Structure 1
Amino acid sequence: MERPKNDDLAILKASRRKLSEAAQRALAEADERRRIAKQDSTVAPTEINGRDGLEPARYGDWEVKGIATDF
């Protein structure tokens, strides 16, 4: 048996008791938010004239050639 891609909808369909309309709307809205978040996370703006190497804010490297920099 193949596992469904969206666990929330699979739980909704497999449930023996019916969920209220509000619960169904909440699950649909959550699914839509996840889809939009996944779509938005794949598009990242490119930096123009940025420094080379790893992202300094992420790795805590706030210096260039021994001089501390502030953005």
Structure 2
Amino acid sequence: MDDTTIPPRKPLSEAAKRALAEAEARRAAIDAAQKDRPKEINGRNGPEPVRYGDWEVGGIATDF
């Protein structure tokens, strides 16, 4: 028997299908909104610090 075989999945319920469709629509709306924003000049590189709760400048991290 091959260990890499994937077992068959259960069919999704209608509620799960609606939830997946809503999530995809939400992601598409966010992507469209981000494309419309102007490019930031002299901004920080890397992940948004507010999202992760840490600010790091010159190797020193500050938690709020």
The structure in which a higher percent of residues are helix is 1
Give the TM-score of the pair, scaled to structure 1: 0.42
Larger radius of gyration: 1
The structure in which a higher percent of residues are strand is 2
